[in-house]
Amino acid sequence: MRKIPIFMVDAFAEQLFGGNPAAVCPLEEWLPDVTLQAIAAENNLSETAFFVPSTQPGVDFQLRWFTPTVEVSLCGHATLASGHVLLNTLGLRGNRVTFMTQSGLLTVERDGESLSVNMPALPPLPLKEVPKDLSTGLGLKPQAWLVSGNNYLAVLAEADAVAALAPDLAALTRLSGKGMIVTAPGGEYGVDFVSRYFTPARGILEDPVTGGAHCVLVPYWAARLNKTRMEALQISARRGRLQTELLGERVRLGGKVVPYLRGEIAIP
């Protein structure tokens, strides 16, 4: 019986049971993909992160992420969680850790009492043709529809409309693996912008706090508000607060990580 360490933490969280929970599994070498996917399904969190030591110069670890149903190419909160486990639990020396991923090099650094993750900026473009399942899924007419990679972006006028949104998840499930970000000015929430994120086609009905979505949101709001540093709030039931900064073709997402659980997985 092989035993694998597992850590569960809440990323972008102000307190325990807030933010976005992620599982982190350090490995000595890669397990078969079917095993990685089975572990993620068993954990039943929005993301389980796996990393192995890297032999590539300038890279500390190779990092992959799995939802309960699929491997994904970019994930912010589980990267922040992995950095926390390495820097604050496993005793990695220094204040910085680098990961090679499907989306290139990602970096996690200490940022005072918080951590920050450096990720690619993914500016959205106007959506020329809105799929029927997308408009049905949102259930109302936004100010604008945009798209960036595998994510649609709906811009609403009021933060309260984002909070009250009850999308048609069955329609969104038919969007061929794409997710839907919904955003609005921060208004009474006292932040620059708010958001929610839905991606049932990837096995996640609503993600509590989504780093990848903010790779799209930060360049959008930076251009709209004419500022590079912004505070963001993802207003899911758990909520998560992010300190964001646009750095040219990169974004920096800062937040706190709260540890929850550590243990072992027994693999036959």
* Degrees to nearest 5, angle at CA 45 with 150 and 211: 45
pLDDT score of 208: 96
pLDDT score of 18: 95
pLDDT score of 33: 98
- Token pair 């809440």 is found at 10
pLDDT score of 176: 81
Average pLDDT value over all residues in the chain: 96
Provide mean pLDDT across the span 63-85. Answer: 97
Higher pLDDT, 176 or 74: 74
Separation CA 96–CA 215 (nearest Å): 20
- What does the pLDDT look like over 178-220, one tens digit per residue? 899 999 999 999 999 999 999 998 889 999 999 999 999 999 9
User: How many angstroms separate the Cα of 147 from the Cα of each of 52, 83, 151, 233?
Assistant: 33, 29, 6, 21
Structure tokens given for 191 = 């932040």
71 Cβ contact list (under 8 Å, min separation 6): 33, 36, 37, 64, 65
Q: Which of 215, 194, 208 is nearest to 258 (CA)?
A: 208
Structure tokens given for 5 = 């360490």
Q: Is 199 exposed, middle or buried (0-12, 13-18, 19+ CB in 10 A)?
A: buried
The values of phi and psi at residue 129, to 5°, are: -135, 120
Q: Name beta bridge partners: 47.
A: 22
Provide mean pLDDT across the span 78-88. Answer: 97
Q: Which of 54, 57, 52 is nearest to 82 (CA)?
A: 52
Coil, helix or strand for 117?
strand
Q: Which of 237, 201, 167 is nearest to 72 (CA)?
A: 201
- What does the pLDDT look like over 110-141, one tens digit per residue? 988 899 999 999 999 999 999 999 999 999 99
pLDDT score of 82: 98
Provide mean pLDDT across the span 239-244. Answer: 96
pLDDT score of 156: 98
pLDDT score of 177: 79
Question: Taking a C-beta distance cutoff of 8 angstroms, is the pair 36, 68 a contact?
Answer: no
- Count Cβ atoms below 10 Å from residue 135 Cβ, excluding itself: 16
pLDDT category of residue 13 using cuts at 50, 70 and 90: very high
What the chain holds in terms of domains, given with CATH numbers, is 2-118+255-267 (3.10.310.10), 125-248 (3.10.310.10)
**DSSP-derived pairing of the beta strands 20-26 and 47-53:** parallel
pLDDT score of 113: 86
pLDDT score of 29: 96
- Residues annotated as catalytic are 47
pLDDT category of residue 16 using cuts at 50, 70 and 90: very high
What is the reported pTM? 0.94
| Distance between first and last Cα of the chain | 5
Question: Taking a C-beta distance cutoff of 8 angstroms, is the pair 20, 241 a contact?
Answer: no
Quote the percentage of the chain above a pLDDT of 90.
93
The answer, yes or no, to whether residue 230 has pLDDT greater than 90, is: yes
Separation CA 48–CA 253 (nearest Å): 19
pLDDT score of 268: 85
Question: Taking a C-beta distance cutoff of 8 angstroms, is the pair 231, 209 a contact?
Answer: no
Helix axes 211-225, 77-84, angle to 10 degrees: 110
Provide mean pLDDT across the span 89-114. Answer: 94
pLDDT score of 98: 98
